[in-house]
Amino acid sequence: MMKTSMRRCAFFLFFVLLIPFGVYAQRTKSAEQRTADYLESIRNQPLLLSAFVEQMPKGGDLHNHLTGAVYAESYIQYAADDGLCVDRPTLTFTQAPCDESKNQVSASKALQDAVLYRDLIDAMSMRDFKPAAQSGHDHFFDTFGRFRVAARAHTVEMIAEVASRAARQNESYLELTMNPDRGAAGPVGAKIGWEDDFAALRDKLLAGGLRDVIATAVKTIDEVDAQSKKLMCNGARKMSGCGLEVRYIYEVYRGFPKEQVFAQALTGFEMAMADPRIVAVNPVMPEDGYVSMHDYELHMRIFDFLHKNYPKVHLTLHAGELAPGLVPPDGLTFHIRQAIELGHAERIGHGVDVMHEDRPFDLLKEMAQKRVAVEICLTSNDLILGIRGREHPLPQYLTYKVPVVIATDDEGVSRSEMSREYQRAIEGYGLNWGQLKQIVRNSIQYSFVDDDTKAGLIKDLEQRFAKFEIQF
């Protein structure tokens, strides 16, 4: 009887001592390890994971197209405020006056007509899109033509919207891709025409009106940058984007004729040399378009020439935003490599078709060795290309230690945001806390901001990580 009693007492004592020991063991773990453990515990609980990701520091968004980042609801309000029209058959904004005989109505009607409002949002984004007569790829790119007229006079408000959304998600830096010359460089190129001698063509363009375009574009950046900061910071209630570091990437329309592409690229390089807020140059428009495909190597040679003349200007190039069936098989085999080796890309936008390139493993090793970062846009790649899950090369990039950053691409059109991009990466590819922190750090390390600002952003990011981890 006494032995039984003693055994019970020993068991009770062991159990009582075990509880504080377990608590002590947990508390002796580092904050980073506790955070890692918590992430593993909620990995399969979407709502808890969503809350975790929303609070998580996210560094920068390095691949963000300004017009595509604005939500359709904002464009509808802009159109109503500006007295624009809606062409009902195509659900496209047009200039006034509205021609009722062509089924055009005032855009303000959408604020009272729930069906029109709903239809406009669906037409100007990927919300509720179901492939039928049109592919996701075509619907996605067609949205830009539908809201283009409404965007023209609202760059300031657009920057404020996108910057404030980024700040609310604990981002600290933003590179916005846009066209500060408002399309003025292309017509100069069309007027001057094409010449195979790039040096002579450069001189003719600068002497033929491009210097005026550049000067005006710098003033435009002055205005929109100052006014967007004023809008975010000087009101009765500051917007969350007040204080966020924002820089700009000059976009080149690669679907245009070659003389206009050269003029735009030259403008971008000149602006980047003249204004530190323009941190890079990047070609945009669908990579599978006829001109984009036909002139791809020519475009890389243009960037090669300009890089040699403006070696301090950074380049991030859309390359490999392609999938089998979208273009002929040989169209998948060289874009990323040419962007790096001929176009001098320091970052690659999308890079989805990397495993279809010639010698893909050598290319991955080259990217890792040269520290060429890849901008991964998971939602965009799914909606435009149908590439998701195991078909996406994100695991291969990570395996070969290519620097990876997570980005939004066109979050307004995609109806996404940075938090959802990170959650998608965690759920789809099993990323752990250490991998997430490295990807976030990459988004600052591989940004094109000046060194002093970058150092401050890195310090701020580590402080944010420490504050975030201490709660677990």
**Segment 111-156, tens digit of pLDDT:** 999 999 999 999 999 999 988 889 999 999 999 999 999 999 999 9
> Under a CB-based contact definition with an 8 Å cutoff, are residues 454 and 172 in contact?
no
pLDDT reported for residue 132: 82
Q: Which residue has the tokens 């975010």?
A: 232
- According to DSSP H, which parts of 327-371 are helical? 335-341, 360-370
Amino acid at 144: F
CB 169 within 8 A of CB 417: yes
Residue 343, token pair as written in the block: 């176009």
Please report the sign of the dihedral spanned by the C-alpha atoms of residue 192, residue 194, residue 195, residue 200. Answer: positive
Residue 21 pLDDT > 70: no
Cut 0.85: pTM above it: yes
Query: Is the pLDDT at 56 greater than 90, yes or no?
Result: yes
Indicate the domain borders of the chain.
59-66+154-469, 75-151
Q: How far is CA 396 from CA 217, 353, 372, in A?
A: 40, 11, 14
- What CATH number does the domain located at 59-66+154-469 have? 3.20.20.140
* Residue 26: per-residue pLDDT: 55
Has residue 199 got a pLDDT over 60? yes
* Cβ-based neighbour number of residue 262 at 10 Å: 26
Instruction: State the average pLDDT for the chain.
Output: 94
Overall average pLDDT of the 45-73 stretch = 98
372: Cα within 13 Å, side-chain hemisphere: 27
Q: Rounded to 5 degrees, what angle do the CA atoms 259, 264, 266 make?
A: 95
- Give the strand pairing for 92-94 and 59-65: unpaired
How many CB atoms lie under 10 A from the CB of residue 198?
Answer: 17
Strand 85-87, strand 92-94: pairing: antiparallel
- Prior bond to 97 cis, omega within 30? yes
Q: Is the pLDDT of residue 10 over 90?
A: no
Q: What is the pLDDT averaged over residues 192-197?
A: 98
Distance CA 255, CA 396 (A): 30
